[in-house]
Amino acid sequence: MCKISSEGPTIKVGVLGATGTVGQRFITLLANHPWFIIHALGASSRSAGKPYSKAANWKQSTPIPSIVRDTIVQECQPEHFKDCLIVFSGLDADGAFRSADLPVFSNAKNYRRDPHVPLVVPLVNTAHLVMIAQQQARHDPPLKKGFILTNANCATTGLVVPLRALEKAFGPVESCIVTTMQAISGAGYPGVPSLDIIDNVVPFISGEEEKLEWETLKILGNVVDGDNGLEAFDMRARQPLRVSASCNRVPVIDGHMMTVTVRFARRPPPSPQQVREALAAYTPDAPACPSAPVHAIFVHEEADRPQPRLDRYYQDGAGVSVGRVRQCPVLDVKFVVLANNVSIGAATSSIINAEVAVLKGIIH
């Protein structure tokens, strides 16, 4: 088991896709992390061999941290990361790192559907880390340290936090209709062309609606002892929850907003005031970690909040904002959610997941 030192950060970590939108957020967060120290950075062959400050088209509002300015960016190959205890990934192809027996905390979509790979939103389902031992044992050859743990799509992340809070308080949610207004940064850099997004809304994001609809079931589901051992998530048990998503790209830089309407299995359903209280009181079932928000959900009382420009840095982007909780004349209750797509929707989630894995003794 790796040790947390009170003397300062000692756990060496690497970042794949370090020059990209998510990679830059990782670097900003890791530069001052109490446990993790950046040891290796990887990007494409375009960037490899250059100092980070020359390779990255830095788009953060704080300067490039001095700890990485002169770090030479590597090709994304496991041998350059062999001394890292943790690899954070903003890269689609990160399976080779698991095969090299490295623990990978991935933002990419590729492994999310794998029944042996946990899909974890740290404010919701860190209990799913129990899957990791089985994933290691089933790998050919079996792994001692390596695994892949994915975090969710950034829009799914914002949705499942309030849904989990509602299910914890009131039992199963039966149906959910969600309409997203997603920031441009969700598409990476340079993202959507300016002539497509300025003065406009684009009512399509490839693959996004499907991800919201199935990822939600896996995240809110339970780990079950299936036919082949502890391998599957109990998606069947989630069948009563039906999710319908409509996704839109809007001219906002950071912060995915969405309107959510739910129907509860429980009749009569909770009132909007009970829903407000349950959301504000929600505490994730996770150990206390340095990067976790003190409050997972902030409930706004003002009629015109949350708003991306005002609320996306709630808890340094690690918390979720909810507002306009009200009765729905068709289903039961409707509300607005805002989550920072590059923070809790990406890098912050991976970092909290890694902190939980350290505390649970999974990293060694």
Ligand X SMILES: NC(=O)C1=CN([C@@H]2O[C@H](COP(=O)(O)OP(=O)(O)OC[C@H]3O[C@@H](n4cnc5c(N)ncnc54)[C@H](OP(=O)(O)O)[C@@H]3O)[C@@H](O)[C@H]2O)C=CC1
Ligand Y SMILES: N[C@@H](CC(=O)OP(=O)(O)O)C(=O)O
Kindly list the catalytic residues: 154, 256
Q: Which helix (H) or strand (E) holds 37?
A: strand 36-43
State yes or no: residue 341 binds ligand X (CB under 6 A): yes
250-to-56, 67, 138 alpha-carbon distances in Å: 26, 35, 42
The entry of ligand Y, ligand X, none near residue 189 (CB within 5 to 8 angstroms by kind) is ligand X
Q: Which helix (H) or strand (E) holds 349?
A: helix 348-359
Closer to ligand X by Cβ: residue 126 or 151: 151
Among 78, 186, 306, 319, binds ligand Y (CB under 6 A): 186
Interacting positions 146-165 with ligand Y (CB under 6 A) = 153-154
Among 12, 50, 69, 109, binds ligand Y (CB under 6 A): 109
Closer to ligand Y by Cβ: residue 30 or 245: 245
- Note the helical H segments in 9-77: 21-30, 52-55, 66-69
* CB-side neighbour CA atoms (13 Å) of 345: 29
Closer to ligand X by Cβ: residue 207 or 287: 207
Kindly report whether the peptide bond that precedes residue 190 is cis, defined as omega within 30 degrees of 0: yes
Rounded (5°) CA angle 151-212-202: 110
Give the contact letters, 18-57, x = binds to ligand X (CB under 6 A), - = no.
xxxxxx-------------------xx-xx----------
Taking the CB of residue 246, how many other CB atoms lie within 10 A of it? 15
State yes or no: residue 308 binds ligand X (CB under 6 A): no
Closest separation in Å from C-beta 359 to ligand Y:
25
206 exposure class (CB count in 10 Å sphere: 0-12, 13-18, 19+): exposed
The amino acid occupying position 324 is R
Among 14, 118, 186, 269, binds ligand X (CB under 6 A): 186
Closest separation in Å from C-beta 146 to ligand X:
19
Among 107, 340, 348, 353, binds ligand Y (CB under 6 A): 107
Q: 285: which residues sit within 8 A by CB, 6+ positions away?
A: 126, 127
Closer to ligand X by Cβ: residue 208 or 332: 208
Size of the site for ligand Y (CB under 6 A): 11
Is residue 225 helix, strand or coil?
strand
- Selected range binding ligand X among 130-138, 206-214, 223-231, 341-349, rule: CB under 6 A: 341-349
Closer to ligand Y by Cβ: residue 182 or 291: 182
State yes or no: residue 218 binds ligand Y (CB under 6 A): no
Distance CA 305, CA 321 (A): 9
Q: Which helix (H) or strand (E) holds 114?
A: none
Closest separation in Å from C-beta 208 to ligand X:
10
Query: Residue with CB nearest ligand X?
Result: 20
Closer to ligand Y by Cβ: residue 58 or 189: 189
Q: 260: which residues sit within 8 A by CB, 6+ positions away?
A: 159, 162, 163, 176, 177, 178, 334, 335, 336, 337
- Sites of contact with ligand Y (CB under 6 A): 107, 109, 153-154, 182, 186-187, 205, 208, 211, 341
Catalog residues that contact ligand X under the rule CB under 6 A.
17-23, 43-44, 46-47, 76, 90-92, 107-109, 154, 185-186, 188-189, 341-342, 345-346
